[in-house]
Amino acid sequence: MKLNLTKSDKIFLGVVFGGYVAVIIYIVATGYKFQLEGVGQRWIYQLPFGEGPLSRINPLTIIMTWVVMGIVIFMATRVKVFKLVPGKKQSLLEALLDYIYDLVKDSVSRKEFVRPIFDIAASLFLFVIVSNFIGSFPGINAIPLESGGVKLTILSDSWYAPTSDLNMNLMLAFFVFVMSHVYAIKVKGWKSWGKSFFEPIWWMFPINIIGEIAKPLSHALRLFGNIMGGSILILILGYLVKYFVLPAALWGIFGLFFGAIQALIFTILAIAYISSLIE
């Protein structure tokens, strides 16, 4: 079988292969030693005002979130002009968006809400899948020190994925939670929406409230556990073989494949939670 690669494909593969070879040469020449110290720790910065959890931030989450948004915007600009005969990039994007659109159309019974819900689902999918992919490759990370400082590391950890931060996942899940009830109020009205919490009988109200609160919590924890656990597993196994052959396969399986699956599951659940409240 002969592969027909374009010039840009060859350049991309050459850069990836060259970078991988450069990393191996650097490891051999400098005697670089991999350490698992600090893996899984988070760089937390205490703001000069306020107290409690809301006065602390993770700078890497903010930085990498903007990086992910920049990547998504860049991807959009590369296919902003759609052609009648699509290329590979346009075909891939159309296939992904068509699949998500079909999921929304099959799940949402009220056709006037198909397009706005699709916009939400597609945005979530693109953000989550790019975030998951970033955390699949070794790169630069920040490890907090006991003295209060921060040490930058290279190749001893993967690039920081915003979806490995529970706070980010909770924010995304809370956004889905809010939008599902906003659409429910639009469809049912305030009276019918409030009445739904007391169905099928009034004493079910506490259970219904607990069930609604459990939705965003389970939504966020599922994504956090898979992405965080997968990245740590890759690092531990990669440490054992010094990042030579096996980690490349692990990044492909646990990072890229499972990252895409988790992005799809997160999106499907978002569609299901919103559509279930507007029926």
On whether the CB atoms of residues 241 and 277 are closer than 8 A, the answer is: no
pLDDT score for 27: 64
Partnered with residue 56 across adjacent β-strands are 46
pLDDT tens sequence for the chain (279 residues): 455 666 776 776 777 667 667 766 766 676 656 555 555 666 666 677 767 666 677 788 888 889 888 888 887 777 666 666 666 777 777 788 888 888 888 888 888 888 888 988 988 998 998 888 887 766 666 666 666 666 666 665 667 788 888 888 889 999 988 888 888 888 888 888 777 777 777 777 888 788 888 888 888 888 888 777 777 776 666 666 655 555 556 666 666 777 888 888 888 888 888 888 777
| Spatial CB neighbours of 264, under 8 Å, sequence gap ≥ 6 | 125, 129
pLDDT score for 1: 45
On whether the CB atoms of residues 41 and 145 are closer than 8 A, the answer is: no
Q: How many CB atoms lie within 10 A of CB 53?
A: 7
Helix (H) / strand (E) element for 225: namely helix 205-241
What angle is formed at CA 254 by the lines to CA 256 and CA 106, rounded to 5 degrees?
A: 60
pLDDT score for 251: 63
Sequence length of the chain is 279
Distance of CA 159 to the CA centre of its chain: 13
Q: In one letter, which amino acid is 272?
A: A
